[in-house]
Copies of this chain bind each other. A is one copy, B any other.
Amino acid sequence: MKFYDVNGAPSPRRVRIVLVEKGIEYETVPVDTPNKAHLEADFLTLNPWATVPVLQLDDGTCISEAIACCRYLEEAYPEPPLFGKNSKEKGIISMWEHRMEWDGFLAVAEYLRNTIERMRGRGLTGVVNFDQIPALAERGKKRVAHFHNLLDERLGHSEYMAGDYYTIADITAQVSLDFASRAGLKCPEDKKNILRWYNLVNSRPSAAA
């Protein structure tokens, strides 16, 4: 299995963590996004949406979208389960995961892509160029503050994001939190519940992925 990756990028990191958690062997193929390799024909045949990560299975099948890569890995390598062990858990974990992506990951991306010079004309991922929208950068910043509140509230009465064990919802929350921090939107120090949980997830070997 090949894994098309960008070193340090948050979206493929969600998949990298799952690969480590499940102890899966794979071959990394770096994609040179600063030099726009993801917008070239070779890469677009693997993923016409021009996003990284992409998992390429041994039969050539390509799976893109971070959560879909993680889903494939969960189904093909069930242990340890990261998406739940029964119907109810699976529904609840999917709910928290999706919410973490929307309130966390996409809020940070909204802020960052509409702010930094390097992303000019790249307000969204994909092959279509969209101008930055300053009002959207502001909105993203407010949303990340709200995300920190939500996360802290939730973790005040749940050991992990979706219950009493580590799941894909923690992974998306963890990656979003680090992504926000790197974008200059650090978690306020008074968020004690986040801090408690972050120490837990960040001490796992997969956190280095």
User: Which residues of A are in contact with B by a Cβ distance under 8 Å?
Assistant: 49, 55, 57, 61, 63-65, 67-69, 71-72, 75-76, 86-88, 90-92, 94-95, 97-99, 123-124, 128, 130-131, 133, 135-136, 139, 142-143, 146
In the complex with contacts A87-B76, A91-B71, A65-B99 CB distance below 8 A? yes
Check B90 against A71 for contact (C-beta < 8 Å).
yes
Shortest CB-to-CB span from A84 to chain B, Å, is 8
Instruction: Report chain B residues within 8 Å CB of A49.
Output: 99
The answer, among B63, B69, B92, B142, for a CB contact under 8 Å with A128, is: B142
Instruction: Report chain B residues within 8 Å CB of A61.
Output: 88, 92
Shortest CB-to-CB span from A103 to chain B, Å, is 8
Instruction: Report chain B residues within 8 Å CB of A91.
Output: 55, 63, 68-69, 71-72, 75-76
Smallest CB-CB A-B distances: 9 pairs: A72-B91, A68-B95, A75-B87, A68-B94, A76-B87, A71-B94, A63-B91, A65-B98, A133-B135
